[in-house]
Each structure stands twice: as structure tokens, then as C-alpha cells.
Amino acid sequence: MSASPIPADQIRTAVAEELQAAKFIDIHTHLYKPSLGPIGLWGIDELITYHYLEAELFRFNSITPGKYFSLTKTEKADLIWKTLFIENAPISESTRGVVAVLSAFGLPTTGDLAEARTFFASRTITEHIRDVFRLAGISEAVMTNDPLDPDEAPVWERGTESDPLFHPVLRLDRILNKWDQHWQVLQAKGFDVHPDGSGRTMSEVRRFLEGWVALMKPVYMAVSLPDTFTYPEMSLRVRFLRESVLPICRETGIPMSLMIGVRYLVNPELRLAGDGVGKADLRAVERICLDFPDNRFFISLLSRENQHELCVYARKFANLMPFGCWWFLNNPSMVEEMTRERIEMLGASFIPQHSDARVLEQVIYKWRNTRRTLTPILANTYQTLSEDGRPVSREDIRHGINRLFRSNFENFIQPAGGHTCPHE
Ligand code: FIX
Ligand code: ZN
């Protein structure tokens, strides 16, 4: 690859081509390898009944959530399609996404869903995953795997083959956020644990997680946390972090992902669509990075108001890797704002985005949008560098994009030996 400088007026084309050619790693999704069975969602009815669209349905249609959730999947999809795609133009980020998926497969974006249903019913999952990943421009996706999920856990325990397209993650929300509802599951498996965390609970949870690390070989552990998350704090959650989770992460060289800022079920009637956002006190992140210098933390924050602080903390802690424009921030206006600020403050030492896809085909539009939003931002970045007197080569651009969408992640999940400091 030539290191020869690119004329400033050709930088944008070079950026667009390199973004298109690069295969990204999607570091956080709710997608599943086929061998985990029906928990992996795909197809038109799943796309349309995505909780983002359910939230929008209730703004346009007077149906009550109770009545809506009593419908069949097909009835739900037909109602959302009629309301958000036929009676109204699908201009929101989430509805436009469905249109982008339909047109990616050459399917009609108006009329009824019959042709789309026939098309998706004709696909076999392995060929479909291959085509979807190609259209999305990703090489692999990182899953969200819950060792206490009654549908998923037994499949892992029975043994599943590994899949190079899907990397596992040990998701700990049930232990760290809902211990009072789930401690019995561990007790039933023979772990000497107690609801109040007494006795051998901490070491037994450690033993439980050690077993899952050996079984699942996760690339990182993860938890979503409320906007009220505080550290340090006299709580079971913080005890589990300190005494069970972070010690194992350190010993096995696995990073911990903290996704902070959720106000769970602000409207419980909306179920999965009922969560909200709140500004978090990031002194918790400051202290946890300080207290655990040998642990590495992926951090994603849900509140727009927390993003600048996160950039500052990332400048203070090399064991902190900011990632993604999570959930309610995964909109071009927010992605633009956050990515520009992160480049200005962190160079290419962060991970700009993850899809958070819950339905397979969503990666097509979520990554198309990311490329579309980042092209002018990266082009402007390199053009400004060239104007300031440092010639820019295609190699520079390729290296930067590879860092943002691949090697920052690959290096950060490496155990300490292979880990290269993100600031190098
Ligand atoms: O906690 C999470 O991983 C969140 O991403 C999800 O719970 C959320 O429902 C979602 O789908 C966001 O996009
Ligand atoms: Zn998620």
C-alpha cells in the first residue's frame, strides 16, 4: 500500500472506499450462533417487532400495550407495518432501518409483507448469516450470553461447537443486578450461596464463573448498570465485582464491560421497550479504574450528558476503552457529535460503534449508517491534518480505520501479555 500522500480533494473518496472495504468486528450484539438454537432472532416479523419500533407504535396507534402484547407475532408485525410504514412514512432511524434491509434484499418496501415473509422463509440460517455479514461489512459479531438464562444456559451445558463468526460474552446482569431473584439457581446447581451474600457466597460465585469461563471462553464479561450505579458502595453488587468478578477477569486476562445509564422499566407496560436513560455519576468509573489498574474496562454510557466526561477519563486511564454509541445514542446526530469529540480527544484509541443488533439483519442498516455518518467525519479529520501540514496516505487512513473497528478491540481483549497500550 503506497505511503504516498493523497491530494486533499481525494481524501474523502479514499476514506469512503477504505470504510467500505474494511470488515468490522461488531463488539456488542444480542445475536447468537445458530448452534444456540431459536434464541437467535431473524426475519421480517422479528425486524418489525423490534422493541425500538414497538416504542414508536404506541406514539402513532391508540392500541394499549396490554392489547398489543396479546397479539400473535404476525399480528403485531402487521399492525406496526400498517401504522409506521404505510399510514406514515418510515422516517425514524429504526423504521428507515427496516426499509434499508428490505431493499438490500431487493424486496418491496411498500404494500404488504407477503413477499418478504416468503423470501425469509426460503433462507437457510447459515447462508443467510454469511450474506447478511457480507452486506453489513462485518467479519464477526460478539454475542451476549447469559449463564442464568433458562433457555440458553442448558444449550451451553450440553456442549456447543464454537463458531468463528460469533464470539461469546459472559453477561452478568442476573448476578450483579438481580441476585435476590436468581441466587437459588446457583444453589440448585450445588453452589453454597446465600441471598445476603454471606458465608462462601463470594468464592462460590467465583467458582461458578470460573466454570463458565472454561466452558464458554468469553472474550469479555459484561453487565448493564443503572444510572444510579455507585462505586465504591456497601452493596452486594460491589462485593461481587470486587470479590468474584474482577479477580477472575484479572486472572484470566478478560476485560469487563460496564454499560451504564439505564433507567430500567420507566414504563413497565412496554416491557423490553420500557427502559429509559439517566445521567450517571462517573466518579464510579474513575474509582473502579483506579482501584483495579490490572483490570481492563470496556465502558459505554447511555446518557449524552456523560460522553465528554468519558473522553476525559479515557485520557486518564489506559485500562479504559470507550466504545459505541449505545441504544438511544445510536442515531446519526448523536454518533456524529460523539465521534468527532472522541477523535479530537482520543485520536483513534477508542471503538466508535457497536450495532447492539437483536435481530440478525439489523447489522445491515446499523453498519451502513455508521459508514455513512463516519465518512465525512474521518474525511474532515484527515483533510484538516493535511491542511495543517502532515501529508496523509491511504495507508494512514486504512490503519486508522483498522484500529477503530478491529485492532483496538483485538488488542484490548488480549490477556496482559499480548495487550498493546491503546495510546501507543
Ligand atoms: O443491556 C443491553 O445490552 C441493551 O443493549 C439492551 O438491553 C437494550 O434492550 C437494547 O436492545 C439496546 O439496543
Ligand atoms: Zn445490548
Q: Write the CB contacts of 197 (distance below 8 Å, at least 6 apart in sequence).
A: 179, 236, 239, 240
Amino acid at 17: E
> Which among 26, 27, 28, 30 is the best mutation to test ligand 1's pocket, defined by most ligand atoms within 8 Å of the CB?
30
pLDDT band at residue 416 under the 50/70/90 scheme:
low
pLDDT digits (tens, 9 = 90+) for 222-232: 999 999 999 99
Mean pLDDT, the chain, as a whole number? Answer: 96
Better-predicted residue by pLDDT, 415 or 171: 171
pLDDT of 3 reads 77
Q: How far apart are CA 25 and CA 402, in angstroms?
A: 10
pLDDT of residue 419: 44
Q: What pLDDT does residue 423 have?
A: 41
Write down the pLDDT at residue 2: 56
* Residue nearest atom 3 in ligand 1 by C-alpha distance: 224
Query: Which ligand has its closest atom nearest to the C-alpha of 142?
Result: 2
pLDDT digits (tens, 9 = 90+) for 35-51: 999 999 999 999 999 99
pLDDT over 70 at 424, yes or no = no
Q: Is a pLDDT exceeding 50 seen at residue 203? A: yes
Instruction: Please state, in angstroms and rounded to a whole number, the distance separating the CA atoms of residues 299 and 222.
Output: 10
Mean pLDDT of 106-128: 98
How far, in Å, CA of 276 to CA of 256, rounded?
Answer: 23
- CA 261 / ligand 1 centre spacing (Å): 11
CA–CA gap between residue 303 and residue 310 (Å, rounded) = 11
Q: What is the pLDDT of residues 265-304, one digit of tens each?
A: 999 999 999 999 999 999 999 999 999 999 999 999 999 9
Helix axes 201-216, 179-188, angle to 10 degrees: 70
* CA–CA dist 240, 375 (Å, integer): 42
Summarize pLDDT for 349-397 with one digit per residue, the tens. Answer: 999 999 999 999 999 999 999 999 999 999 999 999 999 999 999 999 9
Instruction: Tell me the per-residue pLDDT of 4-35, one tens digit each, with 9 for 90 and over.
Output: 999 999 999 999 999 999 999 999 999 999 99
Quote the ligand 2 centre to 29 CA distance (angstroms).
Answer: 6
- The predicted structure's pLDDT at residue 220: 98
